[in-house]
Structure 1
Protein backbone atom coordinates (compact mmCIF):
# COMPACT_ATOMS: atom_id res chain seq x y z
CA UNK A 1 0.00 0.00 0.00
CA UNK A 2 1.54 3.27 -1.19
CA UNK A 3 -0.25 6.17 0.48
CA UNK A 4 -1.27 9.55 -0.86
CA UNK A 5 -3.09 12.03 1.37
CA UNK A 6 -5.85 14.37 0.16
CA UNK A 7 -6.55 17.36 2.39
CA UNK A 8 -10.13 18.64 2.35
CA UNK A 9 -11.06 22.13 1.26
CA UNK A 10 -14.22 24.03 2.13
CA UNK A 11 -17.66 22.69 1.37
CA UNK A 12 -17.80 19.48 3.38
CA UNK A 13 -17.85 21.08 6.82
CA UNK A 14 -20.57 20.06 9.26
CA UNK A 15 -21.71 21.18 12.75
CA UNK A 16 -19.48 20.10 15.64
CA UNK A 17 -16.96 18.54 13.27
CA UNK A 18 -14.05 16.95 15.06
CA UNK A 19 -15.65 16.88 18.50
CA UNK A 20 -15.64 13.07 18.69
CA UNK A 21 -11.98 12.96 17.66
CA UNK A 22 -11.14 15.62 20.23
CA UNK A 23 -12.74 13.60 23.01
CA UNK A 24 -11.07 10.30 22.14
CA UNK A 25 -7.74 10.97 20.40
CA UNK A 26 -4.87 12.59 22.36
CA UNK A 27 -2.80 13.33 19.25
CA UNK A 28 -5.78 15.16 17.74
CA UNK A 29 -6.21 17.21 20.92
CA UNK A 30 -2.53 18.11 20.78
CA UNK A 31 -2.97 19.81 17.39
CA UNK A 32 -6.23 21.58 18.27
CA UNK A 33 -4.60 22.92 21.45
CA UNK A 34 -1.56 24.24 19.56
CA UNK A 35 -3.71 25.80 16.83
CA UNK A 36 -5.95 27.41 19.45
CA UNK A 37 -2.95 28.89 21.23
CA UNK A 38 -1.61 30.29 17.96
CA UNK A 39 -4.91 32.07 17.25
CA UNK A 40 -5.82 32.89 20.87
CA UNK A 41 -9.22 31.23 20.41
CA UNK A 42 -10.53 27.86 21.55
CA UNK A 43 -11.04 25.78 18.41
CA UNK A 44 -12.24 22.95 20.64
CA UNK A 45 -15.31 25.06 21.47
CA UNK A 46 -18.11 24.18 19.00
CA UNK A 47 -19.30 27.80 19.06
CA UNK A 48 -15.90 28.81 17.65
CA UNK A 49 -15.44 25.94 15.20
CA UNK A 50 -19.00 26.45 13.89
CA UNK A 51 -18.42 30.20 13.42
CA UNK A 52 -17.88 31.13 9.72
CA UNK A 53 -15.18 33.57 10.87
CA UNK A 54 -13.03 30.61 11.95
CA UNK A 55 -14.18 28.06 9.37
CA UNK A 56 -10.96 27.95 7.35
CA UNK A 57 -8.79 27.64 10.46
CA UNK A 58 -11.09 24.96 11.89
CA UNK A 59 -10.89 22.85 8.72
CA UNK A 60 -7.10 23.08 8.57
CA UNK A 61 -6.79 22.29 12.28
CA UNK A 62 -9.06 19.26 11.86
CA UNK A 63 -7.18 17.91 8.84
CA UNK A 64 -3.83 18.45 10.55
CA UNK A 65 -5.10 16.79 13.72
CA UNK A 66 -6.14 13.69 11.77
CA UNK A 67 -2.75 13.67 10.07
CA UNK A 68 -1.09 13.76 13.49
CA UNK A 69 -3.05 10.66 14.52
CA UNK A 70 -1.98 8.79 11.39
CA UNK A 71 1.72 9.66 11.73
CA UNK A 72 1.85 7.40 14.79
CA UNK A 73 0.14 4.52 12.94
CA UNK A 74 1.16 4.69 9.27
CA UNK A 75 4.23 5.60 7.24
CA UNK A 76 4.42 9.07 5.71
CA UNK A 77 2.63 9.34 2.36
CA UNK A 78 4.50 9.21 -0.93
CA UNK A 79 2.90 12.56 -1.72
CA UNK A 80 -0.18 14.66 -1.01
CA UNK A 81 -2.46 17.30 -2.43
CA UNK A 82 -5.27 19.42 -1.08
CA UNK A 83 -8.08 21.28 -2.75
CA UNK A 84 -7.63 25.04 -2.37
CA UNK A 85 -7.65 25.63 1.41
CA UNK A 86 -6.56 22.02 1.84
CA UNK A 87 -3.17 22.89 0.38
CA UNK A 88 -2.39 24.73 3.61
CA UNK A 89 -3.12 21.56 5.59
CA UNK A 90 -0.75 19.70 3.28
CA UNK A 91 1.97 22.32 3.69
CA UNK A 92 1.70 22.10 7.49
CA UNK A 93 1.65 18.29 7.45
CA UNK A 94 4.72 18.16 5.19
CA UNK A 95 6.52 20.56 7.57
CA UNK A 96 6.93 23.22 4.90
CA UNK A 97 5.01 25.49 7.29
CA UNK A 98 4.95 25.19 11.05
CA UNK A 99 1.52 24.65 12.58
CA UNK A 100 1.63 28.03 14.30
CA UNK A 101 2.72 29.96 11.19
CA UNK A 102 0.39 28.01 8.92
CA UNK A 103 -2.77 28.39 11.00
CA UNK A 104 -2.17 32.13 11.44
CA UNK A 105 -1.64 32.47 7.71
CA UNK A 106 -4.90 30.60 7.05
CA UNK A 107 -6.76 32.87 9.46
CA UNK A 108 -5.46 35.97 7.69
CA UNK A 109 -6.25 34.46 4.27
CA UNK A 110 -9.83 33.97 5.43
CA UNK A 111 -10.11 37.63 6.39
CA UNK A 112 -8.62 38.78 3.10
CA UNK A 113 -11.07 36.67 1.11
CA UNK A 114 -14.04 37.90 3.12
CA UNK A 115 -12.97 41.50 2.53
CA UNK A 116 -12.57 40.92 -1.21
CA UNK A 117 -15.96 39.22 -1.36
CA UNK A 118 -17.56 42.20 0.40
CA UNK A 119 -15.93 44.64 -2.01
CA UNK A 120 -16.95 42.64 -5.08
CA UNK A 121 -19.69 40.07 -4.43
CA UNK A 122 -19.33 36.98 -6.54
CA UNK A 123 -20.81 33.59 -7.23
CA UNK A 124 -19.67 30.03 -7.92
CA UNK A 125 -21.70 27.43 -9.82
CA UNK A 126 -20.85 23.73 -10.13
CA UNK A 127 -21.38 21.90 -13.41
CA UNK A 128 -21.06 18.21 -12.46
CA UNK A 129 -21.85 16.81 -15.93
CA UNK A 130 -19.99 19.23 -18.21
CA UNK A 131 -18.44 17.22 -21.03
CA UNK A 132 -18.96 19.73 -23.88
CA UNK A 133 -16.03 22.11 -23.46
CA UNK A 134 -16.94 23.98 -26.65
CA UNK A 135 -20.36 24.77 -25.17
CA UNK A 136 -18.70 25.88 -21.94
CA UNK A 137 -16.40 28.22 -23.86
CA UNK A 138 -19.42 29.73 -25.61
CA UNK A 139 -21.19 30.20 -22.28
CA UNK A 140 -18.17 31.95 -20.79
CA UNK A 141 -18.03 34.34 -23.73
CA UNK A 142 -21.73 35.13 -23.30
CA UNK A 143 -21.26 35.65 -19.58
CA UNK A 144 -18.25 37.90 -20.10
CA UNK A 145 -20.47 40.32 -21.99
CA UNK A 146 -22.30 40.92 -18.70
CA UNK A 147 -19.46 40.69 -16.20
CA UNK A 148 -16.57 38.49 -15.10
CA UNK A 149 -16.88 34.71 -15.40
CA UNK A 150 -14.14 32.09 -15.68
CA UNK A 151 -13.55 28.45 -14.80
CA UNK A 152 -12.60 28.30 -11.12
CA UNK A 153 -12.12 24.53 -10.63
CA UNK A 154 -11.34 21.58 -12.88
CA UNK A 155 -12.23 18.80 -10.44
CA UNK A 156 -12.71 15.75 -12.65
CA UNK A 157 -13.01 15.04 -16.36
CA UNK A 158 -16.69 15.97 -16.19
CA UNK A 159 -16.99 18.32 -13.21
CA UNK A 160 -16.01 21.97 -13.37
CA UNK A 161 -16.95 25.04 -11.36
CA UNK A 162 -17.38 28.48 -12.89
CA UNK A 163 -17.21 31.71 -10.95
CA UNK A 164 -17.13 35.48 -11.16
CA UNK A 165 -19.52 38.38 -10.77
CA UNK A 166 -23.16 37.54 -10.18
CA UNK A 167 -24.22 39.02 -13.51
CA UNK A 168 -21.51 37.19 -15.44
CA UNK A 169 -22.15 33.81 -13.84
CA UNK A 170 -25.93 34.14 -14.19
CA UNK A 171 -25.63 34.98 -17.89
CA UNK A 172 -23.33 32.02 -18.53
CA UNK A 173 -25.62 29.71 -16.52
CA UNK A 174 -28.68 30.85 -18.43
CA UNK A 175 -26.92 30.14 -21.73
CA UNK A 176 -25.96 26.66 -20.57
CA UNK A 177 -29.50 25.93 -19.40
CA UNK A 178 -30.97 27.13 -22.69
CA UNK A 179 -28.57 24.80 -24.51
CA UNK A 180 -29.42 21.64 -22.63
CA UNK A 181 -27.23 21.62 -19.52
CA UNK A 182 -29.43 20.05 -16.86
CA UNK A 183 -27.33 20.25 -13.67
CA UNK A 184 -26.26 23.77 -12.69
CA UNK A 185 -25.68 23.99 -8.94
CA UNK A 186 -25.05 27.34 -7.18
CA UNK A 187 -22.55 26.89 -4.34
CA UNK A 188 -23.08 28.35 -0.88
CA UNK A 189 -20.04 30.64 -0.74
CA UNK A 190 -19.45 34.30 0.08
CA UNK A 191 -16.50 34.82 -2.25
CA UNK A 192 -15.71 33.76 -5.82
CA UNK A 193 -12.39 32.07 -5.07
CA UNK A 194 -9.99 31.15 -7.89
CA UNK A 195 -11.28 33.99 -10.05
CA UNK A 196 -10.02 37.53 -10.75
CA UNK A 197 -12.42 38.81 -8.08
CA UNK A 198 -9.93 37.63 -5.47
CA UNK A 199 -7.17 39.95 -6.75
CA UNK A 200 -7.40 42.25 -3.67
CA UNK A 201 -7.06 39.22 -1.38
CA UNK A 202 -4.13 37.94 -3.43
CA UNK A 203 -2.31 41.26 -3.04
CA UNK A 204 -2.82 41.26 0.72
CA UNK A 205 -1.66 37.65 0.91
CA UNK A 206 1.48 38.54 -1.07
CA UNK A 207 2.44 41.13 1.54
CA UNK A 208 1.64 38.74 4.36
CA UNK A 209 3.74 35.92 2.88
CA UNK A 210 6.80 38.14 2.81
CA UNK A 211 7.23 37.44 6.52
CA UNK A 212 6.51 33.70 6.39
CA UNK A 213 9.38 31.21 6.62
CA UNK A 214 8.98 27.93 4.74
CA UNK A 215 11.10 24.78 4.82
CA UNK A 216 11.88 21.73 2.70
CA UNK A 217 9.01 19.25 2.48
CA UNK A 218 8.97 15.89 4.26
CA UNK A 219 6.95 14.66 1.26
CA UNK A 220 5.81 16.36 -1.98
CA UNK A 221 2.63 18.47 -1.87
CA UNK A 222 1.24 18.93 -5.38
CA UNK A 223 -0.08 22.42 -6.13
CA UNK A 224 -3.57 22.79 -7.63
CA UNK A 225 -2.31 25.80 -9.55
CA UNK A 226 0.99 24.67 -11.06
CA UNK A 227 0.37 20.90 -10.93
CA UNK A 228 3.89 20.65 -9.51
CA UNK A 229 5.23 20.11 -5.99
CA UNK A 230 5.56 23.19 -3.80
CA UNK A 231 9.11 24.28 -2.98
CA UNK A 232 10.20 26.95 -0.48
CA UNK A 233 11.06 29.15 -3.45
CA UNK A 234 7.73 28.77 -5.27
CA UNK A 235 5.42 28.67 -2.23
CA UNK A 236 4.68 32.43 -1.86
CA UNK A 237 3.91 33.08 -5.52
CA UNK A 238 1.93 29.87 -5.93
CA UNK A 239 -0.32 30.55 -2.93
CA UNK A 240 -1.03 34.06 -4.26
CA UNK A 241 -1.79 32.74 -7.75
CA UNK A 242 -4.06 30.08 -6.25
CA UNK A 243 -6.60 32.71 -5.18
CA UNK A 244 -7.08 34.13 -8.69
CA UNK A 245 -6.37 31.16 -10.97
CA UNK A 246 -8.23 27.88 -11.54
CA UNK A 247 -7.50 24.75 -9.54
CA UNK A 248 -6.61 21.54 -11.41
CA UNK A 249 -7.35 18.83 -8.89
CA UNK A 250 -7.78 16.11 -11.52
CA UNK A 251 -4.20 16.74 -12.64
CA UNK A 252 -3.01 16.57 -9.03
CA UNK A 253 -4.63 13.15 -8.62
CA UNK A 254 -3.03 11.91 -11.81
CA UNK A 255 0.33 13.17 -10.55
CA UNK A 256 -0.11 11.19 -7.33
CA UNK A 257 -0.83 8.04 -9.31
CA UNK A 258 2.24 8.65 -11.49
CA UNK A 259 4.34 8.86 -8.32
CA UNK A 260 3.13 5.38 -7.33
CA UNK A 261 0.22 6.09 -4.98
CA UNK A 262 -2.14 3.11 -4.74
CA UNK A 263 -4.32 4.26 -1.81
CA UNK A 264 -5.58 7.77 -1.05
CA UNK A 265 -6.93 8.89 2.30
CA UNK A 266 -8.84 12.16 2.49
CA UNK A 267 -8.25 13.98 5.77
CA UNK A 268 -10.85 16.54 6.84
CA UNK A 269 -14.56 17.21 6.66
CA UNK A 270 -16.56 15.60 3.88
CA UNK A 271 -15.61 13.16 1.17
CA UNK A 272 -15.69 15.23 -2.03
CA UNK A 273 -12.03 14.57 -2.81
CA UNK A 274 -12.56 10.85 -2.27
CA UNK A 275 -15.30 11.00 -4.88
CA UNK A 276 -13.01 12.85 -7.29
CA UNK A 277 -10.31 10.23 -6.70
CA UNK A 278 -12.68 7.35 -7.43
CA UNK A 279 -13.78 8.98 -10.69
CA UNK A 280 -10.29 9.96 -11.80
CA UNK A 281 -8.25 6.98 -10.56
CA UNK A 282 -10.54 3.91 -10.70
CA UNK A 283 -7.65 1.54 -9.92
CA UNK A 284 -6.70 3.41 -6.72
CA UNK A 285 -8.33 2.63 -3.37
CA UNK A 286 -9.87 5.77 -1.84
CA UNK A 287 -10.83 6.27 1.81
CA UNK A 288 -11.72 9.28 3.94
CA UNK A 289 -11.50 10.24 7.61
CA UNK A 290 -13.63 12.98 9.16
CA UNK A 291 -14.90 11.34 12.36
CA UNK A 292 -13.99 8.77 14.98
CA UNK A 293 -16.13 6.25 13.11
CA UNK A 294 -14.37 6.73 9.78
CA UNK A 295 -10.97 6.78 11.52
CA UNK A 296 -11.68 3.37 13.04
CA UNK A 297 -12.96 2.07 9.71
CA UNK A 298 -9.65 3.01 8.07
CA UNK A 299 -7.74 1.45 10.97
CA UNK A 300 -9.61 -1.81 10.35
CA UNK A 301 -8.94 -1.70 6.60
CA UNK A 302 -5.24 -1.00 7.08
CA UNK A 303 -5.00 -3.85 9.59
CA UNK A 304 -6.42 -6.42 7.22
Structure 2
Protein backbone atom coordinates (compact mmCIF):
# COMPACT_ATOMS: atom_id res chain seq x y z
CA UNK A 1 0.00 0.00 0.00
CA UNK A 2 1.37 3.48 -0.86
CA UNK A 3 2.61 5.53 2.05
CA UNK A 4 -0.13 8.01 3.13
CA UNK A 5 0.52 11.60 2.21
CA UNK A 6 -0.21 14.41 4.59
CA UNK A 7 -3.40 15.66 2.95
CA UNK A 8 -7.11 15.25 3.68
CA UNK A 9 -10.14 14.91 1.42
CA UNK A 10 -13.40 16.71 2.18
CA UNK A 11 -16.39 15.75 0.00
CA UNK A 12 -18.91 18.51 -0.69
CA UNK A 13 -22.60 18.51 0.15
CA UNK A 14 -25.38 19.80 -2.07
CA UNK A 15 -26.41 23.37 -2.72
CA UNK A 16 -23.60 24.76 -4.90
CA UNK A 17 -23.95 22.60 -8.01
CA UNK A 18 -23.59 24.55 -11.27
CA UNK A 19 -23.01 23.75 -14.97
CA UNK A 20 -19.35 24.85 -15.02
CA UNK A 21 -18.22 22.89 -11.96
CA UNK A 22 -15.35 20.41 -12.17
CA UNK A 23 -14.22 21.64 -15.60
CA UNK A 24 -11.46 19.02 -15.80
CA UNK A 25 -13.71 16.01 -15.17
CA UNK A 26 -13.90 13.52 -18.05
CA UNK A 27 -16.94 11.43 -18.94
CA UNK A 28 -15.84 8.08 -17.56
CA UNK A 29 -17.97 5.06 -16.71
CA UNK A 30 -19.06 6.51 -13.37
CA UNK A 31 -20.24 9.73 -15.04
CA UNK A 32 -22.09 7.85 -17.77
CA UNK A 33 -23.79 5.57 -15.23
CA UNK A 34 -24.83 8.65 -13.25
CA UNK A 35 -26.38 10.21 -16.35
CA UNK A 36 -28.35 7.01 -16.96
CA UNK A 37 -29.71 7.17 -13.39
CA UNK A 38 -30.65 10.80 -13.90
CA UNK A 39 -32.21 10.19 -17.31
CA UNK A 40 -30.08 12.87 -19.00
CA UNK A 41 -27.54 12.86 -21.82
CA UNK A 42 -25.50 15.81 -20.56
CA UNK A 43 -25.43 16.64 -16.86
CA UNK A 44 -23.98 20.11 -17.46
CA UNK A 45 -26.83 20.99 -19.78
CA UNK A 46 -29.34 19.61 -17.25
CA UNK A 47 -27.92 21.90 -14.55
CA UNK A 48 -28.84 24.95 -16.63
CA UNK A 49 -32.41 24.39 -15.45
CA UNK A 50 -32.50 25.73 -11.85
CA UNK A 51 -35.61 23.70 -11.07
CA UNK A 52 -33.95 20.47 -12.14
CA UNK A 53 -30.78 21.30 -10.21
CA UNK A 54 -32.67 22.07 -7.00
CA UNK A 55 -34.56 18.77 -6.87
CA UNK A 56 -33.27 16.69 -3.98
CA UNK A 57 -33.17 13.42 -5.91
CA UNK A 58 -31.30 14.96 -8.83
CA UNK A 59 -28.83 16.78 -6.59
CA UNK A 60 -27.92 13.82 -4.40
CA UNK A 61 -27.52 11.45 -7.37
CA UNK A 62 -25.52 14.03 -9.31
CA UNK A 63 -23.17 15.11 -6.54
CA UNK A 64 -22.42 11.58 -5.41
CA UNK A 65 -21.74 10.40 -8.95
CA UNK A 66 -19.50 13.35 -9.78
CA UNK A 67 -17.55 13.11 -6.50
CA UNK A 68 -16.95 9.41 -7.06
CA UNK A 69 -15.79 10.08 -10.62
CA UNK A 70 -13.56 12.97 -9.52
CA UNK A 71 -11.77 10.91 -6.90
CA UNK A 72 -11.51 7.94 -9.28
CA UNK A 73 -9.70 10.15 -11.77
CA UNK A 74 -7.46 11.77 -9.15
CA UNK A 75 -6.55 8.70 -7.10
CA UNK A 76 -4.10 7.17 -9.62
CA UNK A 77 -2.04 10.39 -9.44
CA UNK A 78 -1.75 10.37 -5.65
CA UNK A 79 -0.91 8.25 -2.65
CA UNK A 80 -3.52 7.60 0.04
CA UNK A 81 -4.92 10.56 1.99
CA UNK A 82 -4.27 10.90 5.70
CA UNK A 83 -7.95 11.54 6.48
CA UNK A 84 -11.33 11.67 4.77
CA UNK A 85 -14.67 13.28 5.66
CA UNK A 86 -17.87 14.13 3.79
CA UNK A 87 -20.38 16.92 4.36
CA UNK A 88 -23.99 15.68 4.45
CA UNK A 89 -24.62 13.65 1.25
CA UNK A 90 -20.87 13.94 0.66
CA UNK A 91 -20.50 11.10 3.14
CA UNK A 92 -21.50 8.57 0.48
CA UNK A 93 -18.48 9.45 -1.65
CA UNK A 94 -16.28 9.89 1.42
CA UNK A 95 -17.10 6.42 2.73
CA UNK A 96 -16.31 5.04 -0.72
CA UNK A 97 -12.99 6.89 -0.90
CA UNK A 98 -12.13 5.41 2.49
CA UNK A 99 -12.83 1.88 1.25
CA UNK A 100 -16.02 1.27 3.26
CA UNK A 101 -18.29 0.79 0.22
CA UNK A 102 -17.35 0.43 -3.43
CA UNK A 103 -18.05 3.31 -5.86
CA UNK A 104 -20.80 1.49 -7.75
CA UNK A 105 -22.63 0.79 -4.50
CA UNK A 106 -22.23 4.38 -3.28
CA UNK A 107 -23.62 5.71 -6.56
CA UNK A 108 -26.64 3.39 -6.36
CA UNK A 109 -27.34 4.39 -2.76
CA UNK A 110 -27.63 8.11 -3.54
CA UNK A 111 -31.06 8.00 -5.22
CA UNK A 112 -32.31 5.60 -2.54
CA UNK A 113 -31.20 8.02 0.19
CA UNK A 114 -32.90 10.89 -1.63
CA UNK A 115 -36.12 8.91 -2.13
CA UNK A 116 -36.36 8.12 1.57
CA UNK A 117 -35.89 11.80 2.43
CA UNK A 118 -38.34 13.01 -0.21
CA UNK A 119 -40.96 10.61 1.15
CA UNK A 120 -40.69 12.32 4.55
CA UNK A 121 -40.65 15.79 3.02
CA UNK A 122 -43.83 15.10 1.06
CA UNK A 123 -45.70 14.78 4.36
CA UNK A 124 -43.86 17.57 6.17
CA UNK A 125 -42.40 20.15 3.74
CA UNK A 126 -39.31 21.83 5.08
CA UNK A 127 -35.88 23.16 4.31
CA UNK A 128 -32.64 24.59 5.69
CA UNK A 129 -31.52 28.05 6.76
CA UNK A 130 -27.88 29.11 7.22
CA UNK A 131 -27.33 31.67 9.97
CA UNK A 132 -24.04 33.24 11.01
CA UNK A 133 -22.76 36.32 12.78
CA UNK A 134 -24.65 35.91 16.06
CA UNK A 135 -23.30 34.71 19.42
CA UNK A 136 -23.88 31.04 20.18
CA UNK A 137 -26.36 31.83 22.97
CA UNK A 138 -28.42 34.04 20.65
CA UNK A 139 -28.44 31.35 17.95
CA UNK A 140 -29.75 28.83 20.44
CA UNK A 141 -32.42 31.27 21.61
CA UNK A 142 -33.50 31.75 17.98
CA UNK A 143 -33.70 28.00 17.47
CA UNK A 144 -35.84 27.46 20.55
CA UNK A 145 -38.11 30.41 19.81
CA UNK A 146 -38.86 29.23 16.26
CA UNK A 147 -39.06 25.52 17.02
CA UNK A 148 -36.37 24.60 14.50
CA UNK A 149 -33.68 21.96 14.88
CA UNK A 150 -29.91 22.35 14.61
CA UNK A 151 -29.20 20.59 11.31
CA UNK A 152 -25.53 21.44 10.79
CA UNK A 153 -22.97 22.93 13.14
CA UNK A 154 -20.11 24.53 11.24
CA UNK A 155 -18.80 26.52 14.21
CA UNK A 156 -19.90 28.34 17.34
CA UNK A 157 -21.30 31.26 15.35
CA UNK A 158 -22.18 29.50 12.10
CA UNK A 159 -25.03 27.01 11.98
CA UNK A 160 -27.74 25.68 9.71
CA UNK A 161 -31.25 25.27 11.07
CA UNK A 162 -33.80 22.89 9.62
CA UNK A 163 -37.53 22.46 9.94
CA UNK A 164 -40.94 23.37 8.49
CA UNK A 165 -41.21 26.19 5.97
CA UNK A 166 -43.22 28.53 8.23
CA UNK A 167 -40.70 28.21 11.05
CA UNK A 168 -37.82 28.85 8.64
CA UNK A 169 -39.52 32.05 7.47
CA UNK A 170 -39.91 33.23 11.07
CA UNK A 171 -36.26 32.46 11.82
CA UNK A 172 -35.08 34.23 8.67
CA UNK A 173 -36.97 37.37 9.63
CA UNK A 174 -35.83 37.36 13.26
CA UNK A 175 -32.19 36.57 12.45
CA UNK A 176 -31.99 39.30 9.80
CA UNK A 177 -33.48 41.80 12.25
CA UNK A 178 -30.79 40.83 14.76
CA UNK A 179 -28.06 41.56 12.22
CA UNK A 180 -27.19 38.01 11.23
CA UNK A 181 -26.15 36.82 7.79
CA UNK A 182 -29.00 34.60 6.63
CA UNK A 183 -29.29 32.34 3.57
CA UNK A 184 -32.07 29.93 2.61
CA UNK A 185 -30.40 26.90 1.09
CA UNK A 186 -31.53 25.47 -2.22
CA UNK A 187 -32.95 22.29 -0.71
CA UNK A 188 -36.55 21.28 -0.05
CA UNK A 189 -36.05 18.84 2.83
CA UNK A 190 -35.23 19.40 6.50
CA UNK A 191 -32.09 17.27 6.33
CA UNK A 192 -30.34 16.21 9.54
CA UNK A 193 -33.31 16.97 11.78
CA UNK A 194 -35.91 14.82 13.59
CA UNK A 195 -38.31 15.46 10.70
CA UNK A 196 -36.16 12.97 8.75
CA UNK A 197 -36.29 10.17 11.34
CA UNK A 198 -38.38 7.87 9.18
CA UNK A 199 -35.98 8.45 6.28
CA UNK A 200 -33.03 7.46 8.47
CA UNK A 201 -34.84 4.29 9.54
CA UNK A 202 -35.72 3.46 5.94
CA UNK A 203 -32.15 4.03 4.75
CA UNK A 204 -30.85 1.92 7.62
CA UNK A 205 -32.91 -1.01 6.32
CA UNK A 206 -31.46 -0.42 2.85
CA UNK A 207 -27.91 -0.40 4.20
CA UNK A 208 -28.50 -3.66 6.07
CA UNK A 209 -28.32 -5.43 2.70
CA UNK A 210 -25.10 -3.68 1.59
CA UNK A 211 -21.57 -5.09 2.13
CA UNK A 212 -19.55 -2.73 4.34
CA UNK A 213 -15.84 -2.86 5.20
CA UNK A 214 -13.63 -1.26 7.81
CA UNK A 215 -12.07 1.98 6.53
CA UNK A 216 -8.68 1.67 4.88
CA UNK A 217 -7.82 5.26 5.86
CA UNK A 218 -8.85 7.49 8.75
CA UNK A 219 -12.53 8.37 8.26
CA UNK A 220 -14.60 10.90 10.19
CA UNK A 221 -18.40 10.84 10.34
CA UNK A 222 -20.94 13.65 10.67
CA UNK A 223 -22.75 11.70 13.39
CA UNK A 224 -20.23 9.38 15.05
CA UNK A 225 -16.74 10.91 15.17
CA UNK A 226 -14.11 8.52 13.75
CA UNK A 227 -15.34 5.37 11.99
CA UNK A 228 -13.25 2.31 12.82
CA UNK A 229 -15.27 -0.70 11.65
CA UNK A 230 -17.97 -1.79 9.23
CA UNK A 231 -20.79 -1.91 11.79
CA UNK A 232 -20.30 1.65 13.03
CA UNK A 233 -19.98 2.86 9.42
CA UNK A 234 -23.36 1.36 8.51
CA UNK A 235 -25.03 2.87 11.59
CA UNK A 236 -23.50 6.32 11.12
CA UNK A 237 -24.31 6.64 7.42
CA UNK A 238 -28.02 6.20 8.13
CA UNK A 239 -28.11 8.11 11.43
CA UNK A 240 -26.75 11.36 9.98
CA UNK A 241 -29.91 11.82 7.89
CA UNK A 242 -31.84 12.72 11.05
CA UNK A 243 -29.04 13.91 13.36
CA UNK A 244 -27.01 17.10 13.54
CA UNK A 245 -24.02 17.22 11.20
CA UNK A 246 -21.16 18.13 13.54
CA UNK A 247 -18.89 19.48 10.83
CA UNK A 248 -16.83 21.49 13.29
CA UNK A 249 -15.91 18.23 15.04
CA UNK A 250 -15.09 16.61 11.69
CA UNK A 251 -12.70 19.46 10.88
CA UNK A 252 -11.07 19.23 14.30
CA UNK A 253 -10.59 15.49 13.81
CA UNK A 254 -8.99 16.04 10.40
CA UNK A 255 -6.68 18.75 11.75
CA UNK A 256 -5.56 16.43 14.54
CA UNK A 257 -4.12 14.10 11.87
CA UNK A 258 -1.52 16.87 11.27
CA UNK A 259 -2.36 17.24 7.60
CA UNK A 260 -0.42 19.79 5.60
CA UNK A 261 -3.19 20.61 3.14
CA UNK A 262 -6.82 19.84 2.34
CA UNK A 263 -8.66 19.19 -0.92
CA UNK A 264 -12.40 19.68 -1.32
CA UNK A 265 -13.82 17.19 -3.82
CA UNK A 266 -17.08 18.39 -5.36
CA UNK A 267 -18.75 21.59 -6.55
CA UNK A 268 -17.88 25.03 -5.29
CA UNK A 269 -15.40 26.06 -2.61
CA UNK A 270 -17.62 26.19 0.49
CA UNK A 271 -15.74 23.59 2.52
CA UNK A 272 -12.31 24.86 1.46
CA UNK A 273 -13.31 28.41 2.35
CA UNK A 274 -14.67 27.30 5.72
CA UNK A 275 -11.45 25.41 6.42
CA UNK A 276 -9.21 28.35 5.46
CA UNK A 277 -11.15 30.71 7.72
CA UNK A 278 -10.80 28.30 10.65
CA UNK A 279 -7.24 27.02 10.04
CA UNK A 280 -5.37 29.62 7.97
CA UNK A 281 -1.99 27.92 8.45
CA UNK A 282 -3.14 24.70 6.70
CA UNK A 283 -4.09 25.57 3.10
CA UNK A 284 -7.24 24.18 1.49
CA UNK A 285 -8.22 24.24 -2.16
CA UNK A 286 -11.24 22.94 -4.06
CA UNK A 287 -11.34 20.82 -7.19
CA UNK A 288 -13.32 23.64 -8.77
CA UNK A 289 -10.21 25.86 -8.51
CA UNK A 290 -8.29 23.84 -11.10
CA UNK A 291 -8.45 23.17 -14.84
CA UNK A 292 -6.93 19.67 -14.85
CA UNK A 293 -6.47 16.62 -12.64
CA UNK A 294 -2.72 16.97 -13.14
CA UNK A 295 -2.72 20.49 -11.67
CA UNK A 296 -4.65 19.26 -8.63
CA UNK A 297 -2.13 16.47 -8.11
CA UNK A 298 0.77 18.90 -8.51
CA UNK A 299 -0.67 21.20 -5.84
CA UNK A 300 -1.27 18.34 -3.41
CA UNK A 301 2.15 16.80 -4.04
CA UNK A 302 3.80 20.15 -3.56
CA UNK A 303 2.18 20.70 -0.17
CA UNK A 304 1.61 17.26 1.26
CA UNK A 305 4.56 15.03 0.36
CA UNK A 306 6.55 14.22 3.46
TM-score, normalization by structure 2: 0.86
The C-alpha deviation readout for 1:88-120, integer Å capped at 9, x for no partner, is 001111221112221111110011112211210
Does the alignment pair 1:155 with 2:177? no
The 5 A counterparts of 1:66-85 are: 66-85=70-89
Aligned to 2:128: 124
How far does residue 43 in structure 1 lie from its aligned partner after superposition?
Answer: 6.9
Listed as ranges, the matches of 1:3-22 within 5 Å are 3-15=7-19, 17-18=21-22, 20-22=24-26
Given the alignment, which residue of 239, 245, 266 partners 1:268?
266
Secondary structure class of the residue paired with 1:216: coil
Structure 1 residue 46: Cα displacement: 4.1
Distance 2:297 2:24 in 1: 16
Cα pair distance change 1:182/1:35, threshold 3 Å: closer
RMSD: 2.4
Change (3 A) 1:303 1:161: closer
Which stretch has the larger CA shift, 46-55 or 284-293? Answer: 46-55
Contact kept? 1:254, 1:281, Cα under 8 Å: no
Tell me which residue corresponds to 1:167.
Answer: 166
Q: In structure 1, which of residues 100, 105, 113 is the aligned counterpart of residue 109 of structure 2?
A: 105
Structure 1 residue 292: deviation in Å?
5.9
Aligned partners of 1:123, 1:33: CA distance in 2, in Å? 30
Match of 1:251 among 241, 249, 252: 249
SS at match of 1:32: helix
Structure 1 unaligned regions, length at least 5:
24-28
TM-score between both structures, scaled by the size of structure 1: 0.87
Task: State which drifts further: 76-85 or 93-102.
Answer: 93-102
SS, match of residue 72 in structure 1:
helix
Match for 1:197 among 195, 208, 217? 195
CA deviations 1:61-93 (Å, max 9, x no partner) are 211111112211111101110101111001111
Q: Does residue 222 of the first structure (1) align with residue 220 of the second (2)?
A: yes
Is the Cα–Cα contact under 8 Å of residues 130 and 161 in structure 2 kept in the other structure?
yes
CA distances 1:162-199 after superposition (whole Å, capped 9, x unpaired): 11112323333444344x23322211211010111112
Give the unaligned 5+ runs of structure 2: none
Corresponding residue to 1:139 among 124, 142, 146: 142
Aligned counterpart, 1:26: none
User: Post-superposition, which runs of at least 4 consecutive aligned residues in structure 1 deviate over 6 A?
Assistant: none
**Paired positions, count:** 292
The corresponding residue for 1:298 is 296
1:156–1:276 Cα contact (<8 Å) kept: no
Aligned partners of 2:238, 2:104: CA distance in 1, in Å? 20
- Deviation at residue 30 of structure 1 after TM alignment: 3.6
For residues 175 and 251 of structure 1, do their structure 2 counterparts lie closer, same or farther at Cα, with a shift above 3 Å needed?
A: same
Separation in 2 of the partners of 1:46 and 1:298? 21
How far apart in 1 are the matches of 2:76 and 2:38?
Answer: 27
8 Å CA contact retained: 2:130, 2:183: yes
How far apart are 1:59 and its partner, in Å? 0.9
1:95 aligns with 2:93: no
- For the Cα contact (< 8 Å) 1:150–1:163, is it kept in 2? yes
The DSSP-based 3-state class of the residue aligned with 2:81 is: coil
Contact 1:49 1:55 in 2 (8 A): no
3-state SS in 2 of match to 1:228: strand
For 2:292 and 2:260, how far apart are their aligned partners in 1?
19
Partner Cα distance (2:107, 2:154) in 1: 25
Inter-CA distance 89–5: structure 2 relative to 1 (3 Å threshold): same
